[in-house]
Homo-oligomer: A and B are copies of this chain.
């Protein structure tokens, strides 16, 4: 399953955890380090404090005009200068998931401007979304961001904008874990 990733919190890993804040809901046990591997958790024979997993997938809300803008501005993960990262697992409410597609899209973009806000922070903030809900995981999404140290303030501003949005009224668990590449 080449699109499955496991985020392993424990004493080993390529990323040093510099802070961990519970934004809403139950906390996640603090860990000193994080490793990311490109396989499902069930295939791992590893000792860890926790493992979160998710898969990359097709776009769920992005429309053609937004996709064109994203492709023109975004850069990939693993840029040499992007030694800062954030792992932000998120769980939305059952109310969110029971909404039909048009109502979720309207909240996501027309009311919350999720993609539009993200575009303002490209290419500085690179990101990758991993879907977890369909795997019976404790979170619905594992979001991952990479940026250079001098763009930390920009990243914080991005989060403030998103967390103030209508979409975030449906977020019932969120942990903000910051990391540095070792």
Contact = CB atoms under 8 A, between A and B. Distances in A.
A67 B131 CA distance: 24
Interface of A: 1-4, 42, 55, 57-64, 66-67, 97-98, 100-103, 105, 131, 133-136
Nearest to A96: B58
As for how many copies of this chain the complex holds, the number is 2
A136 B3 contact: yes
Contacts of A66: 100
Given A1-B136, A2-B136, A136-B3, A63 B131 contact: no
A64 B136 contact: no
Could you say which of A2, A64, A131, A134 has the most chain B C-beta atoms within 10 Å of its C-beta? A134
Given A60-B101, A134-B134, 9 more contacts: A58-B97, A60-B60, A61-B101, A62-B101, A63-B102, A64-B100, A64-B102, A67-B100, A101-B105
Nearest to A104: B58
Chain A to chain B: the 4 pairs with minimum beta-carbon distance, closest first: A1-B136, A63-B102, A67-B100, A64-B100
20 contacts: A1-B135, A1-B136, A2-B136, A3-B134, A3-B136, A4-B136, A55-B134, A55-B135, A57-B133, A57-B134, A58-B97, A58-B133, A60-B101, A62-B100, A62-B101, A63-B100, A63-B101, A64-B100, A64-B103, A101-B105
Contacts of A3: 134, 136
